[in-house]
Amino acid sequence: MDFKTTKLLHGGDYNPEQWLGRPDILKQDIAMLKESGCNVVSLGIFSWSTLEPEEGVFCLDWLADVIDQLYENGISVILATPSGARPKWLGDKYPEVLRVNADRHRNLFGGRHNHCYTSPVYREKVARINRKLSERFGHHPGVILWHISNELGGDCHCPLCQDAFQQWLRDKYGTIEELNRRWSTTFWSHTYQSFEQIESPSPRGEMGLHALNLDWKRFVTDRTADFLRCEVQAVREGGSELPITANLMYYFQGLDYFRLAKELDIVTWDSYPTWHKQELIETAYDTGMCHDLMRSLKGGKPFFQMESCPSSTNWQSVSKLKKPGVLFAQSMQAIAHGGEGALYFQIRQSRGASEKFHGAVIDHYGGSDTRVFREVCQVGETLQRLSELAGSTVKSPAAILYDWDSQWAMNDSQGPRNDGLHYHETLLKIYRGFRRQGVNVDLVDMGCALEGYRVLVLPMVYMFKEGFAEKVRAFVEQGGQLVTTYWSGIADDTDRCYLGGTPHGLMDVLGIRSTEVDGLYDWEENELVPVAENELGLSRTYRCKYLCDLPELRGAKTLMTYGRDFYAGYPVLTEHGYGKGTAWYVAADAEREFYADFLKLVLKRAGVPETVCGEIPDGLEVTTREKDGVRYYLYQNFGTRPVRVPLPAALVEALYGDPDAELAVCQLMVLKEMIQAAE
């Protein structure tokens, strides 16, 4: 079921079980939540030992009281299931619930996320408390959403998980011969005689069988999804039909989020950018791309920022305060990229234990006369003014391929550059190229539909899963503009290299074959030199580093050539018409200005209209959302000085800010344009 809200959400994690003996604190917190325009809190995230202090003894009255008081004051609740950390009695009585690490040692009790997703006992105990919570609170008018566990992640290598892995492999491959074939086990004499012999990867044993590593990661995602399903099932058995979410993490590599998101009604994520490590706009691109990924996980359905820090975290290497305006800018960016809310970790700072110095809306001092609290109030007030944005969606003409399986396999592959493939930086350069034009971008995986996009980029898509090349071919045939880079289409679903030339299945679409790849030392560079009067009108020379692929022409035209080394004069950027579309091949890791200039020309070729009139100044982010025949333009200044914003071509009215004035650093402007009712 879909999650719908008529207002933008503002609030955060709240853990009142820490001060149950202080009703005055709850009163004060509620007053401050109201004062700061907070309309929602996440409750119960790590409350298991308070909810069930002894096995089978449930104490839910305190929670009922908190939910009631919040509700009476207009504050809704996102109710968590407590499985993220377990009570001591559970670990003591049933040691099987504790996780076994890759070294095959069982952990002692402690920490969080320290449990086995397979353990029937753990599943049963979690299901029991979930049912209780659902029975008691599932129909409370103040509860709006279930928050399953917390930041699901990690793997368990216990005997139960090994059995489950073997069964998963049996289901996938049918016979051990088929597994041996797909995993290339004859290499280094790794052939298995039976599924029972297979063990999860371990630093004490097998780590070099890439297909084993890959399937283990897939299994871990499936196991986690299965655990999540059990949690949800118990919530449903308790009678609640409310939508569910799980809070995801920044580009987390431990789980395939496209797969996991299928189990969720709404995606939410925890955003902790290190704002002052580099220029604000660089962090804004990185964070913006993550918002776009999260939005794309469920094909553009609503999502929101579940956590962010009101001041500084206590777990990053340096606890840097957010400078004035930055909390506001981060919160507004969560909305600008399509989110339905901006929430924090945490509402009130804990007094003791490991997060006592983590920033909060209400700090140890406890008053509302703090810099942070004032900024939180400003966020709250602004979100109220922008509430008509709730439910509006983002339409993207461009998509970048982002696939977990492909990244897992590529990162494990050994070569062509073990010193760093710079994948994330490459993505960011491409992303920035689109965003400099104010173009919205989706991030899609190989399972996503491609129809509807005008431009598709495949950056280092090492793995082409079965059927993917055909899908891309159809995209270009029907008029899509495709950009493919070096190190794409190299291996299949089980990380076996394709025979007969790469990029596999797309050589005729791109009109090239990749012949060899040169890994460059960190200090080496080459360059992309424009061919005189090339099709796109590229005129500058750009630098490239790290990886240089040498494509052989098979019908494509050369637009740029390498400037140095023995391959000076070889093609480095090619173009090939295919069907109604065009396919470009970028053979080297080009500097970001190349992508900015090149993608601008590709967008033009694709007929994507300009978002706004005139150049977008450096540091300015422009995004759009649409709803009920209205397009909203959201401008955010992540630059270093005030700027005048380039306006849309059509007539607009201001919803927030003044289009005739300069936009100050960290500030927001929102304009509205009437468009045809969205089809």
Closest to 379 in 3D by CA, of 38, 21, 650: 38
Q: Which does 270 bind (CB under 5 to 8 A by kind): Zn ion, ligand GLA, none?
A: ligand GLA
Which of 73, 185, 233, 313 is the binder for ligand GLA (CB under 6 A)? Answer: 313
CB 77 within 8 A of CB 142: yes
Residue 46's beta-bridge partner residues?
none
When asked if residue 17 is in the footprint of ligand GLA (CB under 6 A), the reply is no
Burial class (CB in 10 A: 0-12, 13-18, 19+), 637: buried
Q: From start to end of 2-123, where are the E strands?
A: 9-14, 40-43, 76-80
Identify residue 19 by its one-letter amino acid code: W
Among positions 52, 215, 256, 307, the unique one binding ligand GLA when judged by CB under 6 A:
307
Question: Is 486 in contact with 460 (CB distance < 8 Å)?
Answer: yes
- From the list 434, 423, 351, 375, the residue with the least C-alpha distance to 616 is 434
Nearest by Cα to 570 from 594, 545, 587, 582:
587
Shortest Cβ distance from residue 117 to ligand GLA (Å)?
Answer: 18
* Minimum CB distance to Zn ion, residue 102 (Å): 12
62 binds, among Zn ion, ligand GLA, none (CB under 5 to 8 A by kind): none
Residue 491 interacts with which of Zn ion, ligand GLA, none, CB < 5 to 8 Å by class: none
263 catalytically annotated: no
Least distance (Å) between residue 573 CB and ligand GLA = 41
Q: Which helix (H) or strand (E) holds 130?
A: helix 120-137
The Cα–Cα gap between 454 and 77 comes to 40
Query: Of 315 and 365, which has the nearer Cβ to ligand GLA?
Result: 315
> Residue 337 has what DSSP assignment?
T
The residues in 232-251 that bind ligand GLA, with binding defined as CB under 6 A, are 247
> Could you tell me the two tokens for 12?
């955060």
Angle subtended by helix axes 159-173 and 210-237, to nearest 10: 110
Query: Which partner from the list Zn ion, ligand GLA, none does 313 bind, CB cut-off 5 to 8 Å by kind?
Result: ligand GLA
Residue 156's binding partner out of ligand GLA, Zn ion, none, with CB under 5 to 8 Å set by partner kind: Zn ion
Helices 326-336 & 280-297 angle (0-180, nearest 10): 30
- Alpha-carbon distance of 495 to 490, in angstroms, equals 9
**Contact letters for ligand GLA, residues 59-88 (x by CB under 6 A):** ------------------------------
The encoded tokens of residue 6 equal: 């008529």
Look at residue 116 and give the partner it binds from ligand GLA, Zn ion, none, a contact being a CB closer than 5 to 8 Å depending on partner kind.
Zn ion
Binding of ligand GLA at residue 150 (CB under 6 A)? Answer: yes
Nearer to ligand GLA, 330 or 667 (CB): 330
Pairing of strands 653-656, 668-674: antiparallel
Helix axis angle, 423-435 to 404-412, nearest 10°? 140
Instruction: Pick one of 29, 231, 256, 270: the residue that binds ligand GLA (CB under 6 A).
Output: 270
Best CA proximity match to 202, nearest among 171, 169, 161 = 161
Footprint of ligand GLA on 314-343 (CB under 6 A): 315
C-beta closer to Zn ion: residue 158 or 461:
158
- CB of 174 vs ligand GLA, minimal distance in Å: 40
> Of the two residues 307 and 375, which places its CB atom closer to ligand GLA in the complex?
307
Smallest separation, CB 100 to ligand GLA (Å): 23
Tell me how far apart the alpha carbons of residues 419 and 439 are, in angstroms, rounded to a whole number. Answer: 33
> Would you state the structure tokens that stand for residue 49, as one six-digit string?
């030992």
Partner that binds at residue 528, options Zn ion, ligand GLA, none, CB closer than 5 to 8 Å by kind: none
**Closest CB to Zn ion among residues 41, 220:** 220
Nearer to Zn ion, 114 or 134 (CB): 114
* Nearer Cβ to Zn ion (169/448): 169
- Rounded to 5 degrees, φ, ψ at 399 are -135, 145
- Could you tell which of ligand GLA, Zn ion, none binds residue 185, using a CB distance below 5 to 8 A set by kind? none
Q: Which does 17 bind (CB under 5 to 8 A by kind): ligand GLA, Zn ion, none?
A: none
Among 345, 567, 633, 638, binds ligand GLA (CB under 6 A): 345
For residue 26, which amino acid is it? L
**Please, what is the Cα angle at 307 between 70 and 625, to 5 degrees?**
100
For ligand GLA, give the closer residue by CB, 80 or 390.
80
Out of ligand GLA, Zn ion, none, what residue 358 binds, judged by CB under 5 to 8 A for its kind, is ligand GLA
Judged by CB under 6 A, the residue of 17, 29, 52, 151 near ligand GLA is: 151
Beta carbon of residue 650, minimum distance to Zn ion (angstroms, whole number): 58
Whole-number minimum distance, CB 475 to ligand GLA, in Å?
Answer: 37
Output Rg (C-alpha) for the chain, integer angstroms.
26
Residues in the interface with ligand GLA (CB under 6 A) total 11
Q: Tell me: does residue 274 bind ligand GLA (CB under 6 A).
A: no
Quote the CA–CA distance of 313 and 273 in Å, as a whole number.
10
Which is catalytic among the residues 307, 340, 527, 673? 307
User: 387-402 b/e with 16+ CB inside 10 Å = b?
Assistant: ebbbbbebebbbbbbb
Catalytic entry in 17, 151, 231, 375: 151
Pairing relationship of beta strands 620-627 and 588-590 according to DSSP bridges: unpaired
Mark 185-214 with x for binding to ligand GLA (rule: CB under 6 A) and - for no binding: ------------------------------
Tally Cβ neighbours within 10 Å of residue 252: 17
Instruction: Give least dist CB 337 to Zn ion, A.
Output: 37
Task: Report the interface residues with Zn ion, using CB under 5 A.
Answer: 116, 118, 156, 158, 160-161
**3-class secondary-structure state, position 483:** strand
CB closer to ligand GLA, 45 vs 620 = 45
Part of the chain binding ligand GLA (CB under 6 A), chosen from 123-131, 159-167, 172-180, 307-315: 307-315
Residue type, 676: Q
Answer with the entry of ligand GLA, Zn ion, none that 151 interacts with (C-beta below 5 to 8 A by kind). Answer: ligand GLA
CA separation for the pair 99, 83 (Å, rounded): 13
The tokens describing 19, both together, are 């001060």
Residue in 677, 679, 658, 676 with CA at minimum distance from that of residue 668: 658
Beta strands in 1-62 (DSSP E): 9-14, 40-43
151 is catalytic: yes
On the question of a cis peptide bond just before residue 203, with omega within 30 degrees of 0, the verdict is no
Least distance between ligand GLA and beta carbon 558 (Å): 48
Interacting residues of 432 by C-beta distance below 8 A, sequence separation 6+: 285, 592, 595, 596
Residue ranges in contact with ligand GLA by CB under 6 A: 150-151, 247, 270, 272, 307, 313, 315, 345, 355, 358
Residues involved in catalysis? 151, 307
